[in-house]
């Protein structure tokens, strides 16, 4: 170690980034302890919250201060309050509660995929991927992540189907089924076909029945690349599916989807879509790292890339629709 004048640059931001796993785990811990729920119910000090979650006052104070620095709580005169998003999404008594997503995001299986990012970069994708038939991770995903997709699904539904107009809808890689279910909720004349692995379809089926569309759906079990979709669909939903695969694989699938559509039928691709600069907006841009870590060749595709895939498969020019305030984008393309 040579003697030298030390840098005058604060290393705090690098320090914080390298310990940011603590944020993921602290937020998960707070959800498990129902801290947001207790605060919403009026317990707004560490002393008041601690007995409600079998916590120590010190532990609750450290956790709540930590979440305050990160903006998930607010603190005023020693009392904690909820930020707008945590009030709506992490209070168990809110109808929009989505705390279950913590389980999926911070599962050891998911975290482990990022233990060696240098290897992911060298490989250009994951070796330990999640695309094997009936991989149980997709049941976990469908069970725990559905709450994140209610908003984009409900907005997308308004773009693909009109109330009362009979429509045959194919939901490819349906997962939790929410994208198809919201079309069926909006349009009582729609019939939905959910395709996914058999184990995942159990979740879609349960959701569809719980949300009142029993009798208006059927299922096709197996790989989207292998099953027979049938024909005559008005709309094929591809929600959060294409990002798992490379260009050639997606074009082949889109050709198969196109063959299943009626003339004039609509492909509806829902994705996290980065701008062409690939570094904005955050949700779209950061999604590429999700795919690098979990798929062999998937990516966060830009609109131009998705449009190219659709046109290469024989569809007309794609149209992009923001699903804001949801953090996803809908791309529509028609079978001419």
User: Hey, which residues between 288 and 307 contact a second copy (CB under 8 A)?
Assistant: 288-293, 299
Determine contact, residues 183/235, Cβ cutoff 8 Å: yes
Alpha carbons within 13 angstroms on the beta-carbon side of residue 30 total 28
Of 217, 212, 256, nearest to 238 by C-alpha is 256
Is 101 a residue that touches a second copy (CB under 8 A)? yes
> Which of residues 47, 79, 121, 189 is near a second copy by CB under 8 A?
121
Quick check: 12 binds a second copy (CB under 8 A)?
A: yes
Q: Is 126 exposed, middle or buried (0-12, 13-18, 19+ CB in 10 A)?
A: buried
291 touches 299 (CB < 8 A): yes
Point out which span in 110-118, 221-229, 256-264, 302-310 binds a second copy (CB under 8 A). Answer: 110-118
For position 321 contacting a second copy by CB under 8 A, the verdict is no
Q: Which of 51, 124, 133, 136 binds a second copy (CB under 8 A)?
A: 124
For a second copy, which stretch binds (CB under 8 A), given 204-212, 230-238, 250-258, 260-268? 204-212
User: E-strand spans in 173-225?
Assistant: 190-196, 217-221
Which two three-digit tokens encode residue 190? 């729609």
Of the pair 91, 315, the CB lying nearest a second copy is at 91
Contacts of 56 (CB under 8 A, 6+ apart): 50
Range 227-256, binding a second copy (CB under 8 A)? none
Angle, CA of 251, 303 and 102, to the nearest 5°: 95
Window contacting a second copy (CB under 8 A); options: 64-72, 187-195, 222-230, 252-260: 64-72
Considering only residues 267 to 286 of the shown chain, the ones binding a second copy according to CB under 8 A are 274, 277-280, 282-283, 285-286
User: CB of 149 within 8 A of CB of 178?
Assistant: yes
If the CB atoms of residues 22 and 93 are measured against a second copy, the closer one turns out to be 22
Q: Does 226 bind a second copy (CB under 8 A)?
A: no
148 sits near a second copy (criterion: CB under 8 A): yes
Distances (CA, A) of 16 to 20, 22, 102: 6, 9, 21
If one asks whether residue 109 binds a second copy (CB under 8 A), the answer comes out as no
Residue of the chain from 39, 40, 53, 160 that contacts a second copy (CB under 8 A): 53
Structure tokens belonging to residue 212: 């009142």
Residue 39 binds a second copy (CB under 8 A): no
Helices then strands, each counted (H, E), the chain:
15, 9
117 is a site residue for a second copy (CB under 8 A): yes
CB of residue 326 to a second copy, shortest distance in Å: 7
- Does 10 help bind a second copy (rule: CB under 8 A)? yes
Determine which residue in the list 45, 52, 70, 308 makes contact with a second copy, applying CB under 8 A.
Answer: 70
Check binding of 111 to a second copy (CB under 8 A): yes
| Size of the residue set binding a second copy (CB under 8 A) | 109
1 binds a second copy (CB under 8 A): yes
4 near a second copy, rule: CB under 8 A = yes
Pick the closest to residue 68 from 14, 26, 116 (CA basis): 26
With vertex at residue 67, the alpha carbon angle to CA 64 and CA 68, rounded to the nearest 5 degrees, is 85
Task: Pick the closer one to a second copy by CB: 223 or 280.
Answer: 280
Least separation in angstroms between residue 133's CB and a second copy is 25
Q: Is 78 left (phi over 0), alpha (psi -120 to 50) or beta?
A: left
Q: Parallel, antiparallel, or unpaired: how do β-strands 233-239 and 167-172 relate? A: parallel
Supply 119's token pair: 């290897």
Query: 47, 62, 79, 248: which one contacts a second copy (CB under 8 A)?
Result: 62
Of the candidate residues 92, 93, 123, 262, the single one contacting a second copy (CB under 8 A): 123
- In the block, tokens 């020693």 appear at 78
E-only strand ranges, 175-216: 190-196
Q: Cβ closer to a second copy: 5 or 42?
A: 5
């Amino acid at each position: 170690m040579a003697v030298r004048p030390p840098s005058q640059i604060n290393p705090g931001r690098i320090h914080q980034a390298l310990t940011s796993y603590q944020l993921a785990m602290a937020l998960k811990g707070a959800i498990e302890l129902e801290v947001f729920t207790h605060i919403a119910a009026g317990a707004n000090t560490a002393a008041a919250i601690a007995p409600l979650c079998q916590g120590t006052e010190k532990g609750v104070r450290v956790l709540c201060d930590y979440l305050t620095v990160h903006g998930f709580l607010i603190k005023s005169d020693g009392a904690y309050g909820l930020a707008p998003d945590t009030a709506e999404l992490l209070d168990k008594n809110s109808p929009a509660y989505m705390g279950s997503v913590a389980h999926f995001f911070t599962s050891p299986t998911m975290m482990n995929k990022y233990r060696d990012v240098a290897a992911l970069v060298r490989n250009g994708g994951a070796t330990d991927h999640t695309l094997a038939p009936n991989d149980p991770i997709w049941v976990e995903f469908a069970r725990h992540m559905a709450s994140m997709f209610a908003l984009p699904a409900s907005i997308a539904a308004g773009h693909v189907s009109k109330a009362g107009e009979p429509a045959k809808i194919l939901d490819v890689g349906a997962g939790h089924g929410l994208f198809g279910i919201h079309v069926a909720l909006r349009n009582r004349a729609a019939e939905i076909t959910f395709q996914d692995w058999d184990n995942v379809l159990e979740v879609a089926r349960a959701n569809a029945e719980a949300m009142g569309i029993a009798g208006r759906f059927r299922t096709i079990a197996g790989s989207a690349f292998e099953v027979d979709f049938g024909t005559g669909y008005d709309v094929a939903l591809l929600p959060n599916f294409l990002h798992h695969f490379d260009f050639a694989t997606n074009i082949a699938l889109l050709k198969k989807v196109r063959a299943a559509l009626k003339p004039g039928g609509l492909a509806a691709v829902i994705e996290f879509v980065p701008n062409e600069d690939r570094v904005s907006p955050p949700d779209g841009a950061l999604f590429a790292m999700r795919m690098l870590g979990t798929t062999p060749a998937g990516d966060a595709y830009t609109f131009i890339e998705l449009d190219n895939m659709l046109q290469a498969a024989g569809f007309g020019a794609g149209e992009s629709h923001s699903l804001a305030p949801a953090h996803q984008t809908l791309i529509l393309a028609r079978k001419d």
